[in-house]
Amino acid sequence: MKKITIKTLILIVFSFISSYSFAQEIDTASLIKLQPTNNEALLDVTVKKKSGDVVDGQTIIFQEKISKTNYSCITNNDGFCQILVPKGKSYFIKYKNISDEVNYSSNVLDVPSGEDLMNFQINLTIEPPKTIVLKNVLFETAKSTLKPSSFPTLNDLYEVLKVKKNMIIEIAGHTDNVGSAESNIRLSQNRAESVKSYLVKKGISSERIIAKGYGDTQTIASNETDEGKQKNRRTEVRIIKER
């Protein structure tokens, strides 16, 4: 029977919202279902915040450097997940914010080749943002009707809410400064309600979603340019409660 070799690597923190390390020891009793194979290394992944609180329902992605093939897992209530990846390759580590894939670091995880069974224990520390702009959530001009191109992003949000069953969010609608303040508040409120309605129809409790329209009161760019106006016309998710 081949022995399990634990590979160790310490990597540098590259941003204020993330850090990670490869632990020097692993408790083999913690293995749940998967086991390393001759061709694949087992990654035991634990995700926590800086506070030490675990991050559940978090999608972690290991992207093979050359082929860009993604291998992913979703953390359980203990912030833990497992995944098998081919040996003899290098991987970027990413995580998902709703529909966006975020690079964890510029460093890569090098998984060597070899006959030994390989088991990595990976500890990730991330700070999921409290506010996320829902890219590609678009509406008909001057209306609250969602464009079909919005559905993939909203479906990703639905999947997050389905996994994180205690999460409560606010859908925040924003506009540029075209039109009166009153009409912009009304339009942004109706658009936020449209997003909420989409999620509720898919099965998310309405009590978990607050819809709020802010009109042009919370701009993030100048309304003096078309580019700035486009940035201000946005829909955000604000995390009210996670666990």
Q: Regarding the domain delimited by 131-241, which CATH topology (the fold level of the hierarchy) does it fall under?
A: 60s Ribosomal Protein L30; Chain: A; (3.30.1330)
Report which of 54, 45, 59, 47 is spatially closest to residue 18, judged by C-alpha positions: 47
CA 110 from centroid of its chain's CA atoms: 23
Sequence-distant (≥ 6) Cβ neighbours of residue 15 within 8 angstroms: 105
| Domain 4-126 and domain 131-241 have a common topology | no
Q: For residue 58, what pLDDT is reported?
A: 92
pLDDT along the chain (243 residues), means of 10: 42 32 38 84 96 93 96 94 97 90 89 92 92 95 96 95 93 97 98 98 98 98 96 97 83
Q: For residue 31, what pLDDT is reported?
A: 44
Angle at the Cα of 15 (from 11 to 20), degrees rounded to 5? 30
pTM value surpassing 0.85? no
Sequence-distant (≥ 6) Cβ neighbours of residue 74 within 8 angstroms: 57, 58, 59, 60, 81, 163
Q: For residue 237, what pLDDT is reported?
A: 97
Please compute Rg for the chain using Cα positions: 21
Question: Which listed CATH number (3.20.20.20, 1.10.10.10, 2.60.40.10, 2.60.40.1120) goes with 4-126?
Answer: 2.60.40.1120
Provide the residue ranges of all domains of the chain, joining segments of one domain with +.
4-126, 131-241
Q: Return the H-helix or E-strand segment holding 25.
A: none
